[in-house]
Amino acid sequence: MAVRLGSHANGDLAENAEINITPFIDVILVLLIIFMVAAPLSTVDVAVELPTASAPQQARPDKPVFVSVRSDLTVALGEDAVDRAALGGAIDAATKGNKDECVFLRADRGVPYGELMGVMNLLRAAGYLKVGLVGLEDVGGGQP
């Protein structure tokens, strides 16, 4: 409740029905700062073992384009080893420049996740945004 000071005929102070929102804004700003500081701290590195896929198998294209990351971190297009710098040009030749074609990316189990993301970034830089990850099919229905 606020009071308005002014000259009135009878000399009494009249009550003001307006809400003072300054304390409310202060509280909101403090909460905002707390959440901005706490949000980055809530993301921690957690070791996870990713499950195998149990989704139904999709139809394959006639000539799929496979990019593989081997256990020694070399990259192969189909069966041929390709230098990472030349990967974009090699995929353009394999897809005949069709950037809408899906590129299937597979990697050895021991390949670090960062290396796999590096190859995905090379594919994205070459203009191939449709990337399918290849994994083992879970025929038993359970987790390994």
Question: How do beta strands 80-82 and 2-4 pair?
Answer: unpaired
What domains are there in the chain, each with its CATH number? 2-40 (no CATH), 65-133 (3.30.420.270)
**What does the pLDDT read at residue 23?**
86
**What does the pLDDT read at residue 60?**
66
Low pLDDT (below 70) residues in the chain:
1-12, 41-51, 53-61, 137-144
**What does the pLDDT read at residue 121?**
92
State how far the Cα of 2 lies from the Cα of 36, in Å rounded to an integer. Answer: 33
Q: Residue 66: which of 44, 34, 93, 94 has the closest Cα?
A: 94
pTM: 0.54
Assign 131 to helix, strand or coil.
Answer: strand
**What does the pLDDT read at residue 37?**
84
Element containing residue 89 per DSSP (H, E): helix 87-95
Residue carrying the six token digits 């700062």: 33
**Tens digit of pLDDT for each residue in 49-73?**
555 766 666 666 677 888 888 888 8
